[in-house]
Amino acid sequence: MTGAAHGSESLEELLERLENLLQRLADPAAPLERAVTDYEDASRLLAAARQRLEAAASRIGDAIPDP
């Protein structure tokens, strides 16, 4: 993993890094090794972002009182 640890990044930071990696992956002239590393990093970022979103959804669900 490159950059900061996912636990210390905000969702917005994770999404920004993911967007940057996706732009790099769209480059057809990118060296294969870099593309593979970028893909692996993007997969980890996506998993971390999903986890953040699921935690937020859970918190919202907990905050809404049952009818």
Q: What distance in Å separates the CA atoms of residue 64 and residue 59, rounded to the nearest whole number? A: 9
Q: Specify the pLDDT at position 63.
A: 84
User: Domain segments of the chain: what residues?
Assistant: 6-62
Tokens 């970028």 -> residue:
38
- The 10s digit of each residue's pLDDT in 3-58 is 555 678 899 999 999 999 999 999 999 999 999 999 999 999 999 999 999 999 99
Tally of residues, the chain: 67
| Coil vs helix vs strand at 2 | coil
- Residue ranges in the chain assigned as alpha helix (H): 11-25, 32-63
| Positive/negative CA dihedral, 57, 60, 62, 67 | negative
